[in-house]
Every structure is written in structure tokens, then in C-alpha cells.
Amino acid sequence: MHTTQSRRQYRVGCLLGLACGDALGRPVEFRPLTAIADQYGRVGQMYGNSTHGQPAGTVTDDTDPAEAGRAVRKRRSE
């Protein structure tokens, strides 16, 4: 049986995984696989200055809805 704390840790881990994957993929967003391979090879680190000139580690708007949902759930539980 999961405790409230372990459920919270699970949810936080999911959000962190989403944000990290989003940030890793941001520099190559909307680009074909061949163009990504030509420029980067295999993407295995955070790159900056690609999509919209953002620094390395910047998440996209894909992460925003998940963070907003988390904030709403947090307010409801208070």
C-alpha cells in the first residue's frame, strides 16, 4: 500500500521526468531526424540556443500544463 508521502514522491518524480525530457528535446523540436543526427549525433546533454534562442535546460510549453495541473491540485488539498 502506498503512503501519501510515496504518492507525492511518485508525482514529483513524474513531473521532473517530464520536464527533463522536454528540456532535452527542446533544441531539436520540430526538426527531422536526419537534421538532428547531422547537427548533434545523439542528443545526450542539454543544448542551448536552438528553439527561440533559449538557454540549455529550458522547458517548453509542453511542460506548462502539467505544472498548472499540479498547482491546482495542491490548492484543492489545502
For residue 58, CA distances in Å to 10, 41, 72 come to: 23, 20, 23
DSSP 3-state of 30: coil
Tell me the whole-structure pTM to 2 decimals.
0.67
What was the pLDDT predicted at 34? 93
Cβ neighbours, 10 Å, residue 59: 19
Least confident span in 2-11, 44-53, 54-63: 44-53
The full DSSP string for 32-66 is -HHHHHHHHSS--S---SSGGGPPTT---TTTHHH
Residue carrying C-alpha cell 495541473: 69
Q: Taking residues 35-52, what's their average pLDDT?
A: 79
Whether residue 32 is predicted with pLDDT greater than 90 in this model: the reply is yes
